[in-house]
Chains A and B, each alone.
Chain A
Amino acid sequence: MIPLLLSAIIFLPLFGGLIVLAFSRYPDRCRWISLGITGADLFLVANLLVQFIQNPGAITVDLLWIETFGIRYALALDGISLLLILLTAFLTLLCVLVSWRSITKRVAAFHFFLLLSQTGVIGLFLATDLFLFYLFWELQVIPLFFLIGIWGHSDRVHAAIKFFIFSITGSLLMLIALIGVVMIHKSQTGEVSFSIYALNTTLLTAKTEGWLYAAFLLAFAIKIPLFPVHTWLPDAHTEAPTAGSVILAGLLLKTGMYGLFRIGFPLFPGAAHNSASVLLILGFIGLFYGAWIALAQQDMKRLVAYSSISHMGLMVIGLALWNRYTLSGSILQMINHGLVTSALFILVGMIDERIGSRQMEKAGGLWRKMPLLSGFFLLFAMASVGLPGLNNFVGEILILAGAFKTRPWVGALGFVGIVFTLVYTLRLIQEVLFGEPKTDDPYPDLSLRETAILGAIAIVVIFIGLHPDPLLNLLEGPVGELLGGTKNLLTLQGY
């Protein structure tokens, strides 16, 4: 029953999307159907969560798919995947709600692509066959290309193409490396397999391993995005519609992280160890550089985009340190960042809808005009800087604590980075919420729909901030397995 549930969760959005396409003449029906589909998917995931908590243990599906190539339809669910698909289902549901009024043209196609990207991302988080993983990995790029390119802002086509080229460049090089691993595995064992578990045992010479890992790392680094391959992200975010930004920041960036710790590190532990210091440095560059550039932005959306780069930098630092605390912290931070950054993008979108601009100089004094919106804005901005009691604090403190344990200077530097975050966020709050109003126009405060969207995120944000134990419990097992599965990496790292 549960194995079937996994496939249902993956493919329900896809079928829903096809149904939506059939109703292309009735925009309102498209919205309601999409809401129903994403709601049903969230319900299924919640159902899965309940079953998983009652009866923990990895749930797997393993069916033969393309016999000639030894490709299997193999899925596995553990705590990490569960949390990530929960996030995916939750955010896609919010995307439908967010776009309710703002998307008015080609509504059916919009929801089709939205739902298609949900299928891609959920499938990616569950796949254990590398071919299947790769398929979903590329599949998620296509809908976002259309979401940005059709429903985006003025320079959308350029941004969409840039995003697409960056993504595919990484993934095609990864494809070559992937086939390389499989072929080496075949020459050693005589069987063609794409299973991550089988390929983990492949013996590689240091040089080959380095090259193959480099190709995987490039693909993941582009998605995360790590400095210096991050340049597509600000453009993509600036031009994307709000829902596109949510999908991008909340989900797509996470797939890069996920690939790195789920596939890159276990498959190539030796090379991963050698890359640790590079990843640390790149992570720090991302952390500081992102924050620094964010400080210089006038466009609120660009500011949030650069803050994303900064936050992702800290998560990569957590990965590179590769111990129980930092890894749990990084994974938890993926969820947190997904929630908080999405909320900020949604808020910027709402402000844009009201004042017709995303420039900070056009906003100001919103606190008096729209108290509810401003309250949420303050809450999520505070979450973003890691105010204790809110979710980001938990993830960041785990990463920093884990860092202090093994490499104090990393912890210290990371702490400085978080202080940087405070600077640009406070500037954002100060200019947008306070200060003098730029116009006398009254703006409507949040509608019921908008309050529901932000309220839902706020509840989760506060819940994780106050009581992160259930999530950390879910992560504990799989994190242990990741660490246990990479014993040689651990010994190399000096634990």
Chain B
Amino acid sequence: MQSDWIVILPHLFLAGGGLLIFCIGAFWKNRPDGTLFITALLSAGAAAVEALAFSGSGTPFAGMVSGDSFSRFFIALFCGISVITLLFSRRYALHRRFSGDEFYGLILFATLGMALAAGATHWAILFLGVELLSISLYILIAIHKSSQAANEAGIKYFIMGSAASAILLFGIAILYASTGEMGIVESLNAPDSRNPLFLLGLGMVITGFGFKISLVPFHLWTPDVYQGAPAPVAGFLSTGSKIAMVAALLRIVTGASPPVWEVIAPVIWTLAALTIIVGNLTALVQDHIKRLLAYSSIAQMGYLLMALLASRGDGAGASAVIFYSVIYAFMDLGAFGAVSLVSLGEPMARADRDSLTAYRGLGYEYPFAGALLAVSLLSLAGLPPTGGFIGKFALFQAAIGADYMAIAVIGIIGAIISIYYYIKVIAVLYMRPTRVPTPHTFPGFSGPVACASIFALIVLMGILPGSLLEVIAVILS
């Protein structure tokens, strides 16, 4: 029983940190500036260290949550994502006056939700994680109260998200009804895979996942929400919450019995193809950077789904999915982080610097943030020498290796289309005349630190991806 608690120590750090922040916010009014920020950083850091350092095992609490290295790896990744988000949002939140306890506490709770969703072996825990994550995000998206766009985005995400949660929950209930199992893997090894009730439940679960990962045709909320949300939160939303769901999906894909997989595979294939095609084509016509990034992130999920198809078998697919998730987290955070850094100087009333015309010549106005945005976009486009290149390569290799040639060709055509909109932004950054420069605001220290570390990670993963790949191989073995 005692060991059960040790296994979920990272979760406890996150939950404890969140609660502590709320207490500090409520009872320590004249605290030094930055207390909440430091507390949040330390909690996330401690959870990450705990997750990496202690090789836990077993499935505590009657097999409801997994303590295996797979979920520990993802906990560390989510903590990394939240640390980067915290660093990017420090100044940003100060300027927009939402750096209260609710912001920092909710970031930690959302991270906890991701950790639960990725580590769940029981449908109830999965749902708990997804809900914790979603509810935190509803508030985080609308946290900039004076921004009308943010409020609208929050409500939109709330309505869409709660519908999706309801569908997911109902699907889980039906799965339980038809199989009598609440364990994720157990229920997916149902003897009768053609039972209509079972199929209905499965379909609803996948629909719920589709909403949360924003797969086409469940993606329509994404661009509006990303555009309205504060840039650091949008980055957090597009990386953390999606990767948590992908991790959970990975468990479902690898755990399903062959007959069940025969049912799921064509669905995932279709979703992947649609997501790649629609995501990339729609991104082409966007003239606002956050909407463009939203569609780009939709398309990126399509590539992940493509490799997810190949995740059964020799592990090349699963390894590629995990590897690309890590890379994707950093490059997408980098892109949104850059947007938040250059939006610091925008007047209070306005939202982020968003229209592409406002990015003309920005590479010279903000050399470092501009370079971060450019490198992140090059990486998202899958060009060397960035991590995105190795990651895309891994995804396509997995898909082709598992004989999914058609989807790989669709994927590569999508990638070719995507080159245009990524390169268009880079051209705007460096090749168009500068607009009238806005006065620079002091970016603080946290933003540049995040900027530099993401930059280093993207390049490092492009040149020496070996060690990360070996770690992933260990996780999967």
Contacting residues, chain B, for A69 (C-beta < 8 A) = 393-394, 397, 469
A387 close to B (CB within 8 Å): no
Determine, out of A149-157, A247-255, A260-268, A448-456, the stretch whose residues face the partner at the interface. Answer: A149-157
Shortest CB-to-CB span from B317 to chain A, Å, is 13
Q: With A66-B390, A138-B383, A186-B401 as given contacts, are A176 and B430 in contact (CB-CB < 8 Å)?
A: no
Let me know if B412 and A68 touch, CB within 8 A. no
A145 close to B (CB within 8 Å): yes
B32 close to A (CB within 8 Å): no
B470 close to A (CB within 8 Å): yes
The A145-178 residues at the B interface (CB cut-off 8 A) are: 145-146, 149-150, 156-157, 160-161, 164-165, 168-169, 172-173, 175-176
Let me know if A157 and B400 touch, CB within 8 A. no
Let me know if B401 and A157 touch, CB within 8 A. no
Contacting residues, chain B, for A149 (C-beta < 8 A) = 427, 430-431
- Distance in angstroms between the alpha carbons of A68 and B423 in the assembled complex: 30
The B366-417 residues at the A interface (CB cut-off 8 A) are: 378, 383-385, 389-390, 393-394, 396-397, 400-401, 405, 408-409, 412, 415-416
Contacting residues, chain A, for B420 (C-beta < 8 A) = 161, 165
- Distance in angstroms between the alpha carbons of A131 and B385 in the assembled complex: 12
Contacting residues, chain A, for B42 (C-beta < 8 A) = none
Among A65, A138, A165, A175, point to the contact of B412 (Cβ < 8 A): A175
Among A65, A135, A145, point to the contact of B384 (Cβ < 8 A): A135
Among A157, A165, A175, A186, point to the contact of B419 (Cβ < 8 A): A165
Bitwise, A69-94 to B at CB < 8 A (1) or not (0) is 10000000000000000000000000
Q: With A149-B430, A168-B419, A173-B412 as given contacts, are A179 and B378 in contact (CB-CB < 8 Å)?
A: no
Q: Which residue of A lies closest to B428 (CB)?
A: A157
Shortest CB-to-CB span from A354 to chain B, Å, is 27
Interface size on A, residues (CB 8 A): 32
Shortest CB-to-CB span from B477 to chain A, Å, is 12
A472 close to B (CB within 8 Å): no
Shortest CB-to-CB span from B210 to chain A, Å, is 27
Let me know if A176 and B412 touch, CB within 8 A. yes
Shortest CB-to-CB span from B256 to chain A, Å, is 25
Among B394, B416, B470, point to the contact of A172 (Cβ < 8 A): B416
Shortest CB-to-CB span from A205 to chain B, Å, is 14
Let me know if B385 and A135 touch, CB within 8 A. yes
Contacting residues, chain B, for A169 (C-beta < 8 A) = 416, 419
B145 close to A (CB within 8 Å): no
- Distance in angstroms between the alpha carbons of A67 and B465 in the assembled complex: 10
Let me know if B419 and A68 touch, CB within 8 A. no
A142 close to B (CB within 8 Å): yes
Contacting residues, chain A, for B383 (C-beta < 8 A) = 138, 142, 168
Among A66, A157, A168, point to the contact of B466 (Cβ < 8 A): A66
Let me know if B432 and A157 touch, CB within 8 A. yes
Let me know if A172 and B415 touch, CB within 8 A. yes
Contacting residues, chain B, for A160 (C-beta < 8 A) = 427, 431
- Distance in angstroms between the alpha carbons of A308 and B431 in the assembled complex: 27
A183 close to B (CB within 8 Å): yes
Let me know if B430 and A146 touch, CB within 8 A. yes
A180 close to B (CB within 8 Å): yes
Contacting residues, chain B, for A68 (C-beta < 8 A) = 319, 466, 469-470, 473
Interface size on B, residues (CB 8 A): 33
The B59-87 residues at the A interface (CB cut-off 8 A) are: none
- Distance in angstroms between the alpha carbons of A150 and B361 in the assembled complex: 11
B350 close to A (CB within 8 Å): no
Shortest CB-to-CB span from B423 to chain A, Å, is 5
Let me know if B465 and A66 touch, CB within 8 A. yes
B97 close to A (CB within 8 Å): no
- Distance in angstroms between the alpha carbons of A106 and B434 in the assembled complex: 14
- Distance in angstroms between the alpha carbons of A106 and B470 in the assembled complex: 41
Shortest CB-to-CB span from A161 to chain B, Å, is 6
A281 close to B (CB within 8 Å): no
B194 close to A (CB within 8 Å): no
B424 close to A (CB within 8 Å): yes
Contacting residues, chain B, for A179 (C-beta < 8 A) = 393, 396-397, 400-401, 408
Q: Which residue of A lies closest to B378 (CB)?
A: A142
A422 close to B (CB within 8 Å): no
Shortest CB-to-CB span from B130 to chain A, Å, is 32
Let me know if B396 and A161 touch, CB within 8 A. no
Let me know if B400 and A176 touch, CB within 8 A. yes
Shortest CB-to-CB span from B141 to chain A, Å, is 34
Among A161, A173, A182, point to the contact of B424 (Cβ < 8 A): A161
Among B393, B419, B430, B469, point to the contact of A164 (Cβ < 8 A): B419
Shortest CB-to-CB span from A54 to chain B, Å, is 34
Contacting residues, chain A, for B424 (C-beta < 8 A) = 161
Contacting residues, chain A, for B430 (C-beta < 8 A) = 146, 149-150
Contacting residues, chain A, for B432 (C-beta < 8 A) = 157
Q: Which residue of B lies closest to A187 (CB)?
A: B401
Contacting residues, chain B, for A180 (C-beta < 8 A) = 400, 405
Q: Which residue of A lies closest to B402 (CB)?
A: A183
A139 close to B (CB within 8 Å): yes
- Distance in angstroms between the alpha carbons of A407 and B473 in the assembled complex: 56
Q: Which residue of A lies closest to B472 (CB)?
A: A68
Given contacts A67-B469, A176-B409, 7 further A-B contacts (CB under 8 A): A66-B465, A68-B469, A150-B431, A172-B412, A176-B396, A176-B412, A183-B397
Q: Sample 9 A-B pairs with CB under 8 A, ordered by A number.
A: A157-B431, A160-B427, A161-B424, A172-B415, A172-B419, A179-B400, A179-B401, A183-B397, A183-B400
* Cβ-closest 6 pairs across A and B: A68-B469, A149-B431, A157-B431, A135-B384, A179-B400, A168-B419
